[in-house]
Amino acid sequence: MKNNFSLLLCVAACLLAACNKLPADLPAAEGSLTVDLSGISATKATTGTSAENTVGNLSLFVFDENGMLDLSHSCSAAEIQNKKAVLRIKTGTKTVYAAANLNASLQEQAFAVCRLSDLEALAYALSDNAPGGLVMRGSKNSVKVTTSSASTTVPLTRGVARVSLSSVKNSLPASYGTVKLERAFLCNVVGNQNLKGDAAPELSLFVNQEATRGHVRSQVIGTGSVEAECQDLTFKTLGESVASGKSQSYTNKFFYGFPNALKTPNNGFNATFTPTATVLMVVATIKGIPYYYPVPLSGGLAANTEYKVDLTLAGLGNTEDDPFARIQKGDLTVSVSVSAWTTGTGISETI
């Protein structure tokens, strides 16, 4: 009997201790948050490629009203396919952030952050993109999560701009005959950005500086074995022959670069690199000689925006010894159609 009484006292003490600890252990109120990822399809380009819209991986981050991390979530293949994820999260006012197509290193860095500001400051390079895996991001602020269900839609946008070579017309004097289009590539491309999209361009990280690799004058891109930097994103082989008075149209010559607000046009090779507007370079062989036609995108480049370029070759371009020199007016007619990746208004420019 004495042993039983002692046992009861022990049990009572344990229960009392548990009761005393219970209020501190109660979890905060939780609610169910459904994140609609239909923004994936909303960013689809009307004449783009399915690769540009591919979401290979997707990470979700939920921050409280102070910008501190509540939850991070790596979406499953099923969630990406269904474009929906259901998260169990503390109640309150939230910011929901989504990042797509981060490589393993960037994912590791992203999942290590605990503040919204740190996630938005996450730096990445142009080379961290691929035509079939463009880095995308999106966010939604002031999302109210209560103990009943809540939902929000997060639209995804690409961090790069797309430059499309739409057509090239041969308007040279008839005596020059057929023009052979050789290649096209982007020059003076901003090479760094962050997820928020407001990083200042770093001078040393510009890609294909002044039509060269590594800003070495003898290393003109496309000559010999000299490849473009970020070749999959910035370089295309052409190869078509265009008779006098005729045009060559394209539907799949796309180039990608980070936003560039600079509007100063190219002006030849400089010993010390000076950033300018991003330039689309088109190389054509005329009478056996390669000529370079630089098209400065002097209206600036913005993220998730397409720039369609139609060229009319009306005179001889630059030679290989100074491909980045400015073409005088009358030599080259340029029409640049600027639009959001889906729709937009156009502008026309003559150089």
CATH 2.60.120.1140 fits 30-158, yes or no: no
Question: What's the pLDDT tens digit per position in 35-90?
Answer: 887 655 444 444 457 888 889 999 999 999 999 999 999 999 999 888 889 999 99
Measured distance CA(242)–CA(320) in Å, rounded: 21
Mean pLDDT, all residues of the chain: 85
Measured distance CA(41)–CA(155) in Å, rounded: 9
Diameter of the chain by CA atoms? 120
How distant is the alpha carbon of residue 150 from its chain centre? 30
What was the pLDDT predicted at 309? 93
Provide DSSP, 308-320: EEEEEE-S--B-T
What was the pLDDT predicted at 334? 60
Q: Which of 21-25, 40-44, 185-189, 297-301 has the lowest mean pLDDT?
A: 21-25
> Which residues, listed in sequence order, are joined to residue 254 by a DSSP beta bridge?
164
Contact call for residues 323 and 284 (beta carbons, < 8 A): no
Q: Kindly report the backbone phi and psi dihedral angles of residue 88, in degrees, each rounded to the nearest multiple of 5, phi listed first.
A: -95, 120
> Given strand 84-90, what is the order of strands in its sheet?
84-90, 30-36, 150-153
Q: What share of the chain is helix, strand, coil (3-state, %, to 5)?
A: 20, 40, 45
Contacts of 340 by beta carbon, 8 Å cutoff, 6+ apart: 304, 305, 306
Helices marked H in the chain — which ranges? 2-25, 39-42, 77-82, 104-110, 116-120, 231-234
> Which residues, listed in sequence order, are joined to residue 260 by a DSSP beta bridge?
301
Contact call for residues 106 and 125 (beta carbons, < 8 A): no
> Which residues, listed in sequence order, are joined to residue 68 by a DSSP beta bridge?
115
What was the pLDDT predicted at 336? 57
What was the pLDDT predicted at 84? 87
Question: What's the pLDDT tens digit per position in 223-258?
Answer: 999 999 999 999 999 999 999 999 999 999 999 999
Q: Which of 5-19, 123-137, 149-163, 203-217 has the lowest mean pLDDT?
A: 5-19
Model-level pTM? Answer: 0.85
What was the pLDDT predicted at 14? 42
What fold does the segment set 161-350 form as a domain? Immunoglobulin-like (2.60.40)
- CA end-to-end distance (rounded Å), the chain: 105
Measured distance CA(121)–CA(158) in Å, rounded: 16
Locate CATH 2.60.40.2580 in the chain: 30-158
Mean pLDDT of 147-153: 86
Question: What's the pLDDT tens digit per position in 92-116?
Answer: 999 999 999 999 999 999 999 999 9
With tokens 């590791």, the residue in question is: 108
**Based on the number of CB atoms within 10 Å of its own CB, is 265 exposed (0-12), middle (13-18) or buried (19 or more)?**
middle
Q: Work out the pLDDT band at 31, boundaries 50, 70, 90.
A: confident
342: closest CA among 68, 101, 157?
157
Quick check: helix, strand or coil at residue 190? coil
Mean pLDDT of 192-214: 96
> Which residues, listed in sequence order, are joined to residue 305 by a DSSP beta bridge?
340
Contact call for residues 253 and 282 (beta carbons, < 8 A): no
How many residues in the chain? Answer: 351
Quick check: helix, strand or coil at residue 120? helix
